[in-house]
């Protein structure tokens, strides 16, 4: 598999932050924090995951899709990107 992510270390930092947020939510549930506060944190986690997914999709477009088209595999590459875009859209 080709490496489409140009800055994996940045994505790892963001993912570790999300993991920390999820651990915080778990603690909030144990401490019986009000539902509104828990939901707010879930919204933050969802936004962070969406951003990470977008960064991966953008990297895929800039690297893998470009490479696939330039190498003469335009139809297959576009079809693959359309599938990736569909998966990204399911996050919304």
Question: 53 in a domain, yes or no?
Answer: yes
Instruction: Dump pLDDT digits (tens) for 9-51.
Output: 999 999 999 999 999 999 999 999 999 999 999 999 999 999 9
pLDDT of amino acid 92: 73
- Domain span at residue 36? 8-89
Q: How far is CA 86 from CA 12, 41, 68, 83, in A?
A: 24, 26, 19, 5
38 vs 7: which has the higher pLDDT: 38
Residue 46, domain member (yes or no): yes
Res 1: pLDDT: 43
Q: How far apart are CA 46 and CA 92, in angstroms?
A: 9
Q: CATH number, domain at 18?
A: 1.20.58.1000
Residue 2, domain member (yes or no): no
For residue 6, what is the DSSP state? S
Would you say residue 76 lies in a domain?
Answer: yes
pLDDT in tens, 48-63: 999 999 999 999 999 9
31 lies in some domain = yes
Number of domains in the chain: 1
Residue 1 falls within a domain, yes or no?
no
Q: What is the value of pTM for the model shown?
A: 0.84
- Please answer whether residues 52 and 11 qualify as being in contact, where contact means their C-beta atoms are separated by less than 8 angstroms: yes
């Amino acid at each position: 598999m080709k490496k489409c992510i140009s800055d994996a270390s940045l994505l790892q930092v963001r993912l570790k932050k999300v993991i920390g947020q999820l651990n915080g939510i778990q603690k909030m549930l144990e401490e019986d924090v009000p539902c509104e506060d828990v939901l707010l944190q879930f919204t933050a986690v969802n936004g962070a995951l969406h951003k990470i997914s977008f960064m991966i999709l953008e990297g895929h477009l800039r690297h893998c899709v470009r490479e696939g088209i330039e190498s003469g595999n335009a139809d297959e590459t576009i079809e693959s990107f359309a599938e990736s875009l569909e998966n990204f859209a399911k996050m919304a």
